[in-house]
Amino acid sequence: MGKLPVVVDGDTAVTESATIGLCLADRYGLGSLAPQFDAPDRGTYLRWSLFAPSVMQPCTYAKAAKWEYQAASAGWGTFEAMLSSAERTIGQELWLLADRFTMADVILAARCAACCASG
């Protein structure tokens, strides 16, 4: 698609910011930047890593552009519901996985910054 960023790791080209972060954390930081594959908090880690590009980004754009859509049919719901969900999690602990910094924190923080910058 001619998109940036792109990371080439070995013979594999990886695009999409969240995917790049997840792949690098799994490959080089499994057990530290990413929970082990069988860890109980792996689902929470993946949820918040993908919440940024799949919920926050389109929801913020929809609000800014004043799109009219059926919230129940959109994968991102309403801006208010997105914000409420994020607020319930962000700020409760130091990091998304409580006392542990992971790639999910990096991905979500980057998207929050981009959403705030876009208005």
Q: What is the mean pLDDT of the chain?
A: 89
pLDDT for the residue 103: 97
Closest C-alpha to 64, from 50, 75, 49, 79: 79
Residue 113 binned pLDDT confidence (cut-offs 50, 70, 90) = low
Radius of gyration of the chain (CA): 15
Q: In sequence order, what are the residues at sequence separation of 6 or more whose Cβ sits closer than 8 angstroms to the Cβ of residue 77?
A: 55, 59, 71
Say yes or no to pLDDT of 99 above 70. yes
Q: Does the pLDDT of residue 58 top 80, yes or no?
A: yes
Tokens 């009219």 locate to 68
Q: Is the pLDDT confidence value at 46 over 80?
A: yes
Identify whether the C-beta of residue 26 lies closer than 8 Å to the C-beta of residue 36.
no
* The pLDDT of residue 29: 97
